[in-house]
Structure formats: structure tokens, C-alpha cells
Amino acid sequence: MQLIPAIDIIEGKCVRLTEGDYAQKIIYNEDPLEVAKTFEGIGLNRLHLVDLDGAKAGEVVNWKVLEKIANKTGLTIDFGGGIKTEATLKTVLNTGATFATIGSLAVKSPLVFEEWLSRFGAHTFLLGADVYEEKIAIGGWIEKTNIDIIAFVQSYMDKGVSQIFCTDIQKDGKLQGPSIELYKKIIKQFPTLQLIASGGVSQLLDLEALRTIGCSGAIVGKAIYENKISLKQLSDFNLL
């Protein structure tokens, strides 16, 4: 299972939210590049980079953060938040992201996303499935829908998507453990899916549980910044 540290960006700074609430913001570091270099320094090779300003605005805002990290580290970056047009998508990929993270667009403009899958290849995208009570939520988690997570995953696996990360909004940023039962349900339904767990990781045991049930990756954020999981523990786990 791949460990994927998260850096969430607001106004160019590394932050974390609780339950996706922009009013519950904590700034952890003024320099995201410094944070990214720390992760690379302990042997991690992937990064989940989220432009929260972009997610809210509907267009990418924090270009420079992506550019800096891509140019000054060797991390494989998935970048999301505000990718709504083909021009923006191309710029994100040209700026250094290996994967473009798509969430809201796949719900609101499925025909556009399907065209992108066809033209750029499904391997270019990391599909985000953010859920609240097993229903998809979009727009930086602000807008709830009635779309069931299982139906959502099925619809895009049918179109070639093989890599999805799923965040349970009710768990995110609360350090109360990940949604093991939800992930088990998804993996049972889609055994070939590369499912990346996101939200709620609070200790090393959570990562061990996610690996045991078959998650291909785990995004870790607040647990690192709050020192619930040490960098040494992450490094050791990554080598197992």
C-alpha cells in the first residue's frame, strides 16, 4: 500500500480543514515546498496536492505551489482543485502534475470528463469520490448530491478509470479513524479497483488496517501535522 501525504493549500500556505469546513482552518506551514521536501526526504515518493482555493472558486488558483514542488522535488504529484476546462487541465499536467484529480467535474459535466478520459487516457486521472453518508459531495464538499458511491464508481470503471480515492467527509480532519467498513464495501464490489483511502487516519494502526483490507494507497494529512504519526513511523511503514 502506497503512503500518500497530503498538502492542502489556501493562499499559498499548507493548511488542514475539519469536515471540509473552510471556517475550521489551521495553517501548519507557510511554505508547502518545505513540507514536500520533508516527505521526499523520508523516502515517500508521491504527493496529494489540493488547491482548496481552486476547489471553492471553480478554477485553479495556486499554480505556483504546484510549479515549485514539481520543479524542486522528484515527487509524483496528483493535483486537484478547480480543474474545469481543458486549458486548465493541460496547464496542470504541463506544470508538473502526473495525475489530474477530478471530482466535481465528473459529477456535473460527465460528458466533458468522458471526453478527457478518451483523449488524455484514463491513466492521467485520479478520480475523487468524496462522500457524505455514502452519497457523493462536490464543490470542495460544500454541495451534497443523491448519487450513491457504488453507482458512481461503477459508472467510471466502465469507462476505464482504475484509480479512485474516496474521502468520507464525516471522518476527514477529525482523527477518529478511517471508514474501514465503507472501503471494505467498495473493494468487495470492485476487487480490481485501485482504491486510495482518504480521511480519518489518526495512528499507525489505521494504516495497517487499510493495508489489510486491500486499499492500494492511503492519503495521510492531519495525523502527520498533529504528530499523531511520526515521520519515522511513516518511513518505517513505507519500507514494509
Report the domain count for the chain: 1
Q: Of the listed 8, 51, 78, 206, which one is catalytic?
A: 8
How sure is the predictor about 141, in pLDDT bands with cuts at 50, 70 and 90?
low
What one-character-per-residue DSSP string does 201-237 give? --SHHHHHHHHHHT-SEEEE-HHHHTTSS-HHHHHHH
Distance CA 141, CA 154 (A): 21
Least trusted range by pLDDT, from 27-31, 89-93, 141-145: 141-145
Nearest-CA neighbor of 76 among 111, 124, 30? 124
Q: Check: CB of residue 215 under 8 Å from CB of residue 187.
A: yes
Nearest-CA neighbor of 105 among 96, 114, 97, 94? 114
Distance CA 136, CA 152 (A): 8
- Of the chain, the percentage scoring pLDDT greater than 90 comes to 78
Is 236 labeled as catalytic in the residue annotation?
A: no
Residue 142 has pLDDT above 80, yes or no: no
pLDDT of residue 172: 62
* Mean pLDDT in residue range 110-124: 97
Distance CA 16, CA 45 (A): 21
Residue 122 has pLDDT above 90, yes or no: yes
Q: How far separated are the first and last CA of the chain, in Å rounded? A: 9
Give residue-wise pLDDT tens across range 156-187: 999 999 999 998 887 766 677 999 999 999 99
Question: Residue 82 is part of which domain span?
Answer: 2-239
Residue 77 has pLDDT above 90, yes or no: yes
* Mean pLDDT in residue range 91-101: 97
State the CATH number of the domain containing residue 196. Answer: 3.20.20.70
Distance CA 150, CA 135 (A): 9
Is 21 labeled as catalytic in the residue annotation?
A: no
Q: Check: CB of residue 66 under 8 Å from CB of residue 96.
A: yes
Task: Report the DSSP beta bridge partners of residue 229.
Answer: none
pLDDT of residue 173: 61
Q: Of the listed 53, 130, 172, 206, which one is catalytic?
A: 130
pLDDT of residue 3: 97
